[in-house]
Amino acid sequence: MAKIFCVANQKGGVGKTTTTVNLAAGLAKVGQRVLMIDLDPQGNATMGSGVDKRQLELTVYDVLLESASVAEARVRSEKCGYDVLGANRELAGAEVELVEVERRERRLKLALAEVDAQYDFVLIDCPPSLSMLTLNGLCCAHGVIVPMQCEYFALEGLTDLVNTIKQVHANLNKDLQIIGLLRVMFDPRITLQTQVSEQLKEHFGDKVFNTVIPRNVRLAEAPSYGLPGVVFDPSSKGAQAFIAFAEEMVERIRKM
Ligand code: ADP
Ligand code: MG
């Protein structure tokens, strides 16, 4: 049975998509079977996995509206070594269309049950909001990975997410927990970042992943080549960090 993780943080630009595609590629590199699901209508994780969102006939939108199965809508990214359930602008409409339907927050969970046995990991890239789309992700996940930058307001922004996760845990998904906080875009030369990083560890203890993702230009360049940094330049510092993170995740799920 696959372990399912959402990469979530209601802030935009904090590294969710970068984390999702690079962790997926890192896990694939260490021999894990991975499905990456793009739940953001921007489709960045889709494009960043070498899949052209404009060419997709079926996407996660069709799965949420039950007009396609995951097996029908997923595509293989050969370059990246994992499967992709993609998204494009069409997904923005799902928010409204789902309002009318039953079990609207459980659509993805039900759909995933059919392919669960084919993967070790399912990673879900969430949009920068606590919307019905994110809720669908949280309802099917075992855990949430929260990428965060070590900045002054980092902790403050976490409160809403933590509250949402508590509510989903209480009402919809007993399995859900925060697996960990991932420090991303880290620059040790910036004193404030080192301080916030220490605060995070004091506050959250072993909920903070050991791996730290450095700010690295190769990670930022990779999406324009339609690749995760781990595939684009595997020897770069950023890629190496994500491969280490993949190994840390494999270790963590052994204990789950
Ligand atoms: P989100 O999905 O949360 O909106 P992204 O993953 O798209 O965030 O990242 C926002 C921007 O920061 C992107 O341009 C991305 O390439 C860049 N970025 C993310 N992580 C790193 C990193 N570790 N080093 C350098 N640039 C990064
Ligand atoms: Mg994103």
Average pLDDT over residues 208-228: 98
The residue behind tokens 């928010």 is 95
Question: What CATH number should be reported for the domain holding residue 199?
Answer: 3.40.50.300
pLDDT at 154 over 80: no
Report the predicted TM-score, pTM, of the whole model to 2 decimal places. 0.97
* Percent of the residues in the chain that have a pLDDT greater than 70, as a whole number: 100
The total domain count for the chain is 1
**Is 213 a pocket residue for ligand 1 (Cβ < 6 Å)?**
yes
What's the CA gap between 239 and 80, in Å, rounded? 13
Confidence of residue 202 (pLDDT cuts 50, 70, 90): very high
State in Å: Cα 248 to ligand 2 middle: 22
**Is 71 a pocket residue for ligand 1 (Cβ < 6 Å)?**
no
Confidence of residue 100 (pLDDT cuts 50, 70, 90): confident
Output the CA torsion sign for 147, 150, 151, 154. positive
Q: What is the span of the domain harbouring residue 171?
A: 3-255
Cα–Cα nearest to 227, from 87, 70, 78, 41:
78
As given in the structure block, the two tokens for residue 8 are: 């979530």
**Is 228 a pocket residue for ligand 1 (Cβ < 6 Å)?**
no
